[in-house]
Structure 1
Amino acid sequence: MLPYLNLFGRVLPTYSLLGVAGVLLGLLVALARCKRFQLSASDCAYIYVMGGVGAVIGAKLLYLIPLLPQMIADLPLLGQNPSLFFARYLTGGMVFYGGFLGGILGAWLEARYFRLRFSDFFPVLVPTLPLIHALGRVGCFCAGCCYGVEAAEPWGIPFTHTIAAPNGVPLLPVQLYECAAELMIFLFLLWYAPRAASKGGILRAYMLAYAPVRFVLEFFRGDVVRGIYGPLSTSQWISLAVMAAAIVWLVRERRENRS
């Protein structure tokens, strides 16, 4: 695949470039829609940026949790070879759900600091999530991480020059499947945002749309770094929790509206 790009004489990771492109594109989309929902573009930008900071921290933390036993065993490397320890655990490696939860927390704290109602910004911020994630998954495909199970051609694609996937083995391009699903969710949320019965409805819609997709696609993942607990992966357990939370939220809101 294409794990690195040569731009202006510098070799840069494709995954990182696409991640940055996704964040910038998401910001542009959010700011462009602020006027429609009578929101301050500057307030939106502050909340978006802090949400991004929280997302990076959360994504990294959740990536490290399944690796804790191995990381504890490698603690002596901090004294013997710290660069190897940092390269092994602190470079690359992100888990979306950690980013999702961390991003919400970071954005909420920023809105609280400026005494803004966080839910007012949901219609412009929530649709950016699947858009950013879609470009991130293309980056995963280029880097060879988050790869799928072995599959015969033409369903499987043999990877070459990857940093994570086994080279020369036909693998299901599950990253691209998720990218396509994310783009469909993005378009749906753009349509749904002005029609949601409540401002929280768009976040709930996203949770109900994405969690089942992620749950199913995890069965077709071939990498083991994501962690397996019992019959399911870390992200599958979280997907079930997200779906349950969204359903409970929906039921409670409907009951409150009836009373």
Structure 2
Amino acid sequence: MLPVIHFMGREIGSYSIMAVLGLLTCGVVITFLAKRRKIIFANVILAMVSATVGMLIMSHVLYGLVNYKTIVEAVRTIGSISFMEFVIRIGTAFGGAVFYGGFLGGILGIYVFLRIEKDVDKNDLFDLYAVSVPLFHAFGRVGCFLAGCCYGVESHFGFIAEGNIYSPEVNGICRFPVQLAEAGLNIVLFAVLIYLFRRNSIRGLLIFIYLMVYPTYRFALEFFRGDVHRGLWFGLSTSQWISIVLFIIGAIGITVKLSNNKERKTWIRSNRQALSHR
């Protein structure tokens, strides 16, 4: 584990470094892809800022909801603890971040932007979002591995955790590198999505492809997670339940998109034939 990096006499969190690198890399990729679709650069920037704000807010909100017991306990102790202690407990409850909360918050942020800028093609923006999310997420998962904020189950294959300041009890134990496995799969998904984007596939389809593919391997990888504080419901984690819902949404979205595209092609073909007979 390498939770902090010393640079010029200062300690910088390794997760923060990876997050910044991810944002910068995504910025370069999005700029390149936006030019291919001839999207106004200012609109791309504003949409991504709106998405980022949504991601930051909702990632912490979902973390708080998962840790609702801490919030309930803090509320129950009002009057018996100081105000500062109450604030600290609430801050702790919302102090972490959950990826799915951030992902859904990003979608919400883009929708807010589209409500204001009605002339922007929503399909183009969501295609860009679908391509950039797994790339940024890959950097984030490497940051998780370095920081030790999440970790895998005990395993004969993997890495022995050392220097984990978030969960010291896991130090000295060999664990499956679930964060690195997810980072690798995210890179593969990014490569597939950017290939489809460059082929100018059905616009607006990529976000639904993402909603089917990522939840599939996320659901499986959850069984290899060792950090159990993320909430369990009927034997499945919170993220697994969300994965099921998003997979269904993705399947429905792909079906509708492909159906509409087939109907559109049929309509164009019939009109061309009608014109040729005149």
Q: 1:179 aligns with which of 176, 183, 189?
A: 183
8 Å CA contact retained: 1:214, 1:239: yes
8 Å CA contact retained: 1:196, 1:202: no
Q: Deviations over 1:133-164 (max 9, x none)?
A: 00000110011122110012xx1311111133
Q: 1:107 aligns with which of 98, 107, 110?
A: 110
**Aligned equivalent of 1:61:** 61
1:250 and 2:254 correspond? yes
In the TM superposition, residue 232 of structure 1 has moved relative to its aligned partner by 0.7
In the TM superposition, residue 122 of structure 1 has moved relative to its aligned partner by 2.9
In structure 2, C-alpha distance between the alignment counterparts of 1:182 and 1:78, rounded to whole Å: 44
**Aligned equivalent of 2:41:** 41
In structure 1, C-alpha distance between the alignment counterparts of 2:150 and 2:82, rounded to whole Å: 27
In the TM superposition, residue 226 of structure 1 has moved relative to its aligned partner by 1.3
- Shift of the 28–240 alpha-carbon distance from structure 1 to 2, 3 Å rule, reads same
**Aligned equivalent of 1:13:** 13
8 Å CA contact retained: 2:68, 2:93: no
1:98 and 2:133 correspond? no
8 Å CA contact retained: 1:78, 1:85: no
In structure 2, C-alpha distance between the alignment counterparts of 1:51 and 1:29, rounded to whole Å: 16
Aligned Cα RMSD in Å? 1.8
Structure 1: give runs of 5+ residues left out of the alignment: none
In the TM superposition, residue 80 of structure 1 has moved relative to its aligned partner by 4.8
- Shift of the 86–17 alpha-carbon distance from structure 1 to 2, 3 Å rule, reads farther
Query: Percentage identity across aligned positions?
Result: 35
**Aligned equivalent of 1:23:** 23
Q: Deviations over 1:94-146 (max 9, x none)?
A: 11111111001102211321222222223333211001100000110011122
**TM-score (normalised: structure 1):** 0.92
In structure 1, C-alpha distance between the alignment counterparts of 2:82 and 2:188, rounded to whole Å: 44
8 Å CA contact retained: 1:122, 1:200: yes
Moved over 4 A (4+): none
In structure 1, C-alpha distance between the alignment counterparts of 2:200 and 2:217, rounded to whole Å: 21
Aligned pairs, number: 256
Q: Deviations over 1:6-54 (max 9, x none)?
A: 1222111111221122122211210122111111111101101110110
1:236-247 equivalent positions in 2, closer than 5 A = 236-247=240-251
8 Å CA contact retained: 2:152, 2:225: yes
**TM-score (normalised: structure 2):** 0.86
In structure 1, C-alpha distance between the alignment counterparts of 2:83 and 2:231, rounded to whole Å: 27
